[in-house]
Chains A and B, each alone.
Chain A
Amino acid sequence: MDQAQQRSFAVISHVDHGKSTLSDRLLQITGTVSDRDMREQFLDRMDLERERGITIKAAAVRMTYTAADKTTYQLNLIDTPGHVDFGYEVSRSLAACEGVLLLVDAAQGIQAQTLTNLYLAVDANLEVIPVLNKIDLPAAQPEKYAAEIASLIGCDVADIFQISAKTGQGVPELLDAIVERIPPPAGDPDAPLRALVFDSVYDVYRGVVAYIRVVDGSLKARAPVRFMVAGHDAEADEIGIMAPDSTPVVELFTGEVGYLISGIKDVSLVKVGDTVTPRPAPDVEALAGYREPKPMVFAGIYPINGDDFPLLRDALDKLKLNDGALVYEPESSGALGFGFRCGFLGLLHMEIVRERLEREFDLELIVSAPSVGYEVQLDDRKKEIVRNPSEMPDRSRIEEIYEPYVSVMVVTPSEYTGPVIQMCQDRRGELKEMHYLSPERVEIRYHMPLGEIIFDFFDQLKSATKGFASLDYEPVGMYASDLVKVDVLLNSQPVDAFSTIVHRNKAYDYGKAMTERLRKLIPRQMFDVPIQAAIGSRVIARETVKAKRKDVLAKCYGGDVSRKRKLLERQKEGKRRMKQIGLVEVPQSAFIEALRVDSDSTSA
Chain B
Amino acid sequence: MITQVGDRTSRWTADPGFGVYLHIPFCRHRCHYCDFNTYEGQEGLHLAYVDALITDIGNCDPGGRRATSIFFGGGTPTLLPASGLARILRAVAHNVGLDPGAEVTVEANPETVDEAKFDALLEAGFNRVSIGIQSLVPEVLTRLGRTHSPERALEAVGAARRAGFEEVNADLMYGSPWESTSDWMTSLEGVVAAGPDHISAYALTVEEGTPLHTLVASGRAPDVDPDIQAERHELASEVLSAAAYERYEVSNWALPGHASRHNVLYWSAGDYLGLGAGAHGHRSGRRYWNEKLPREFVSRVSAQRSTESGSELLDAGTRAGEAMMLGLRLASGVQLDEFTRRYGPEWLDGRAAVLAQLEAGGFLERSEGWLRLSAGSTLVANDVLCRLL
Which of chain A's residues has its CB closest to B201's CB? Answer: A554
Q: What is the bound-complex CA distance between A568 and B386, given in angstroms?
A: 6
Point out which of A551, A558, A562, A568 has the most chain B C-beta atoms below 10 A from its C-beta.
Answer: A558
In contact, A552 and B381 (Cβ under 8 angstroms): yes
Q: Which of B93-101, B134-142, B322-330, B338-346 contacts A (4 or more CB under 8 A)?
A: B322-330
Q: CA–CA, A559 to B280, complex, Å?
A: 5
Q: A551 touching B380 by the CB < 8 A rule?
A: yes
Residue of B nearest to A574 (CB): B386
In whole Å, how far is A552's beta carbon from the nearest beta carbon of chain B?
4
A 546-586 to B, binary, CB cutoff 8 A, 1 in contact else 0:
01111111111111111011001101100100000001000
Number of interface residues of B (CB under 8 A): 51
In the complex, the answer to whether B380 meets A548 with C-beta atoms within 8 Å is yes
Contact of B226 among A550, A555, A569, A572 (CB under 8 A): A550
**Chain A at the B interface: SS class:** loop
- Cβ contacts under 8 Å, B361 to chain A: 527, 583
Contacts of A560 in B (CB 8 A): 280
Q: What residues of chain B lie closer than 8 Å to A549, measured between beta carbons?
A: 226-227, 230-231, 379-380
Closest to A527 in B: B361
B382 touches A557 (CB 8 A): no
Complex: how many Å from CA A565 to CA B386? 10
Interface centre among A554, A565, A569 (most CB of B within 10 A): A554
Q: For the complex, is B266 an interface residue (Cβ under 8 Å from A)?
A: yes
State whether B379 touches A552 (Cβ < 8 A). Answer: yes
* B280 near A550: Cβ-Cβ < 8 Å: no
In A258-305, the 8 Å CB interface with B consists of: none
Contact of B312 among A555, A559, A562, A564 (CB under 8 A): A562
Chain B residues numbered 195-243 whose CB sits less than 8 Å from any CB in chain A: 202-205, 226-227, 229-231, 233
When chains A and B are docked, how far (Å) is the Cα of A560 from the Cα of B23?
Answer: 13
Per-residue CB contact flags for chain B residues 18-51 toward chain A (1 = under 8 Å, else 0) read: 0101010000000000001000000000000000
A568-B389 in contact given A549-B230, A550-B233, A561-B282 (Cβ < 8 Å):
yes
A544 interface residue (CB < 8 Å to B) = no
Contact status B379-A565, CB under 8 Å: no
Q: Which residues of B contact A558 (CB under 8 A)?
A: 19, 21, 265-266, 272, 274, 280-282
Contact A526 B226 (CB under 8 A): no
Nearest CB on A from B383, distance (A):
4
Contact assessment for A550 and B266 in the assembled complex, using a CB-CB cutoff below 8 Å: no
A3 sits at the interface (CB 8 A): no
* Interface membership of B279, Cβ < 8 A: yes
A553 touches B250 (CB 8 A): yes
Chain B residues positioned under 8 Å from A550 (CB to CB): 203, 226-227, 229-230, 233, 379-380
Beta-carbon nearest neighbor of B230 in chain A: A549
Residue A525 lies at the interface, judged by CB distance under 8 Å to chain B: yes
Nearest residue (CB) in B for A562 is B287
Please report which residues of chain B, range 141-187, place their CB below 8 angstroms from some CB of chain A when the two chains form the complex.
none
A119 to chain B: closest CB distance in Å?
59
Q: Are A568 and B325 in contact (CB under 8 A)?
A: yes
Residues of A with C-beta under 8 A to B325:
556, 564-565, 568
CA distance A526 to B362 in the complex (A): 11
Contacts of B274 in A (CB 8 A): 558-559
Contacts of A562 in B (CB 8 A): 280, 287, 312
Residue contact B383 to A555, C-beta cutoff 8 Å: no
In the complex, chain A residues 183-214 whose Cβ is within 8 Å of any chain B Cβ:
none
Whether, in the assembled complex, B299 has its beta carbon less than 8 Å from a beta carbon of chain A, the answer is: no
Q: Which of these, A526, A553, A555, A571, contacts B377 with CB under 8 Å?
A: A526
Contact of A571 among B227, B278, B386 (CB under 8 A): B386
Chain B 351-365 interface mask (CB, 8 Å, partner A; 1/0): 000000100010100
User: Mask for B241-273, Cβ within 8 A of A = 1, else 0?
Assistant: 000000000110000000000010111000010
Q: Mark A30-43, 1 if CB is under 8 A from B, else 0.
A: 00000000000000
Given known contacts A526-B363, A565-B322, is B202 in contact with A554 (CB within 8 Å)?
Answer: yes
Cα A553 to Cα B325 in complex, Å, equals 11
A561's partner among B205, B231, B266 (CB-CB below 8 A) is B266
Which A residues touch B251, using CB under 8 A? 554-555
Name the A residues within 8 Å of B19 (CB-CB). 558
Interface membership of B385, Cβ < 8 A: yes
Within 8 A of A (CB), among B363-388: 363, 377-387
A548 touches B389 (CB 8 A): no
Contacts of A553 in B (CB 8 A): 205, 250, 381-382
CA distance A548 to B21 in the complex (A): 35
Chain B minimum-CB-distance residue to A580: B387
Q: Is the CB of B229 within 8 A of A575?
A: no
A554 touches B226 (CB 8 A): no
Residues A551 and B203 in contact, CB atoms below 8 Å apart? no
Q: Bound complex: CA of A564 vs CA of B321, how far in Å?
A: 12
Contact A551-B272, Cβ < 8 Å, known A526-B363, A561-B280: no
> Is A526 within 8 A of B380, CB to CB?
yes
User: Which of A555, A564, A568, A571 interacts with B202 by CB under 8 Å?
Assistant: A555
Give bound CA distance, A558 to B321, whole Å. 15
| B287: chain A residues within 8 A (beta carbon) | 561-562
Docked Cα-Cα span, A569 to B233, in Å, equals 25
Q: Tell me the nearest residue of chain B to A565, going by C-beta.
A: B322
Contact A554/B377 with A549-B226, A561-B266 known, Cβ cut-off 8 Å: no
Closest A residue to B173 by beta carbon equals A554
B279 touches A552 (CB 8 A): no
Chain B proximity of A556: nearest CB distance (Å): 6
Q: How far is the CB of A227 from chain B (nearest CB, A)?
A: 56
Q: Which of A525, A547, A559, A571 has the most CB of B within 10 A?
A: A559
Please determine whether A552 and B380 come into contact, CB atoms closer than 8 angstroms: yes
A interface residues, Cβ below 8 angstroms from B: 525-527, 547-562, 564-565, 568-569, 571-572, 575, 583
- If A548-B383, A559-B279 are given as contacts, then 10 extra A-B residue pairs at C-beta distance below 8 Å, sorted by A number, are A550-B227, A550-B380, A551-B382, A551-B383, A553-B205, A554-B205, A555-B205, A561-B266, A561-B280, A561-B326
Q: List 13 A-B contacts (CB under 8 A).
A: A525-B383, A549-B379, A551-B226, A551-B380, A552-B378, A552-B382, A554-B205, A557-B263, A558-B19, A558-B282, A560-B280, A565-B325, A569-B389
**Shortest 8 CB-CB distances between A and B: which pairs?**
A549-B230, A526-B380, A550-B226, A550-B230, A572-B386, A552-B381, A526-B383, A554-B202
- Chain B residues engaging chain A, CB cutoff 8 angstroms: 19, 21, 23, 36, 73, 202-205, 226-227, 229-231, 233, 250-251, 263, 265-267, 272, 274, 278-282, 287, 312, 318, 321-322, 325-326, 329, 357, 361, 363, 377-387, 389
